[in-house]
């Protein structure tokens, strides 16, 4: 990850995007398509561009954040996508090979301090699930999640591919910096004590979970912003965070992003009903999901604090306040 004190990280959001747009154009020169238009979809963690080709086809180009996903991990993502498309009827992205037949293209551009891994996918149409949060759609998501987990139990990573483990040692997603001196103004003593206690509970939960069996491949970012609804069917997007873990960890991530919704109890119940249609609900101890939801909040609080994205860093103080409120609720303070 680009350090937040680097010259690139100190650029404005617009200046970063302009440089990464040039890098995206350089990456697209490696594909058999004539680009008619390129538009930014997202610049937050990774940077995502929508691509229109001269022949009318549409694509998504993902420019990976540097220093986070190694080439071997992106190969694992592509292998699982290929297997899901081959073995299931689930709607997932279709990776597009470059002229060399590779599914990952590494590109450079002036003003971007390091090469970036890029991947091109076919476009999936439809509104995001975030715009269609109904119990019916959450039931469908629950069933899809169970089917992903069922497929993962028989999926083996090919040679040259590997994934991170979502155990305690890899919990923080980025170097943990919340307690560092430079963030002291955001972490007064009482808030720090809450974060430390919350982290302790998350660690205990993860250590028990990881002692309970063998992990499988998880999507690991299965939320309403990574699903689209087309003709009544959900399509699962953005497998970039896929990693090894246990099914309940996927559930915790999904429910974190729903947990402040006014209809959360109904949406959670619908997710569980759908999951049970295709598999056994994976929560193995009381309060496990709630602890994993809290863990996700702490992960993201750290991530926005150390991010090279200027908009994320600007949002960090408010995000930390909201995370403190979650911790007080979870810990009964």
Write out the H or E segment, with its range, that includes residue 207. Answer: helix 189-210
The CA-atom distances, in angstroms, between 135 and each of 129, 187, 246, 248 are 11, 38, 25, 20
C-alpha–C-alpha distance, residues 167 and 104, integer Å: 27
In this structure, whether the domain defined by 129-331 belongs to CATH 3.90.1200.10 is answered with yes
pLDDT at residue 291 in the model: 96
Q: How many Å apart are CA 277 and CA 144, to the nearest integer?
A: 10
What's the confidence (pLDDT) of residue 306? 82
Check if the beta carbon of residue 298 is closer than 8 Å to that of residue 198.
yes
Phi, psi of 177 (to 5 degrees): -130, 0
Whether the CB-CB separation of 139 and 35 falls below 8 Å is answered with no
Residue 144 in tokens: 């899809």
Pair of tokens at residue 213: 């069996």
pTM exceeding 0.85: yes
Domains of the chain by residue range: 13-122, 129-331
* CATH H superfamily, domain 13-122: Phosphorylase Kinase; domain 1 (3.30.200.20)
Q: pLDDT of 171-217, one tens digit each?
A: 877 778 889 998 888 899 999 999 999 999 999 999 999 999 999 99
Identical fold at 13-122 and 129-331?
A: no
């Amino acid at each position: 990850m680009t350090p937040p004190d680097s010259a690139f990280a100190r650029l404005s959001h617009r200046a970063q995007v302009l440089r990464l747009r040039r890098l995206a154009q350089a990456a697209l020169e490696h594909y058999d398509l004539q680009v008619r238009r390129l538009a930014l979809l997202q610049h937050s963690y990774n940077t995502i561009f929508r691509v229109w080709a001269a022949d009318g086809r549409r694509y998504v180009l993902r420019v990976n954040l540097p220093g986070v996903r190694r080439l071997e991990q992106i190969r694992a993502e592509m292998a699982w996508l290929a297997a899901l498309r081959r073995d299931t009827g689930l709607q997932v992205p279709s990776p597009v090979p470059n002229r060399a037949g590779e599914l990952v293209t590494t590109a450079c551009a002036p003003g971007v301090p390091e090469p970036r891994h890029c991947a091109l996918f076919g476009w999936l149409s439809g509104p995001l699930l975030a715009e269609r949060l109904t119990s019916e759609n959450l039931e469908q998501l629950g069933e899809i999640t169970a089917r992903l987990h069922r497929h993962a139990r028989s999926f083996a990573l090919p040679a040259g591919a590997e994934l991170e483990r979502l155990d305690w040692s890899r919990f923080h997603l980025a170097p943990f910096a919340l307690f560092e001196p430079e963030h002291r103004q955001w972490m007064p003593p009482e808030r720090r004590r809450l974060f430390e206690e919350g982290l302790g509970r998350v660690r205990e939960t993860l250590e028990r979970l990881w002692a309970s069996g063998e992990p499988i491949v998880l999507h690991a970012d299965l939320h309403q912003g990574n699903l689209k609804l087309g003709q009544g069917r959900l399509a699962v997007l953005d497998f970039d965070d896929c990693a090894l873990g246990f099914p309940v960890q996927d559930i915790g991530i999904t429910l974190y992003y729903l947990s402040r919704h006014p209809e959360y109890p109904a949406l959670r119940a619908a997710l569980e009903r759908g999951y049970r249609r295709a598999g056994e609900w994976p929560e193995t101890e009381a309060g496990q999901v709630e602890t994993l939801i809290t863990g996700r909040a702490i992960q993201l609080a750290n991530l926005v604090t150390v991010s090279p994205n200027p908009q994320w860093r600007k949002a960090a103080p408010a995000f930390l306040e909201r995370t403190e409120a979650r911790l007080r609720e979870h810990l009964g303070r």
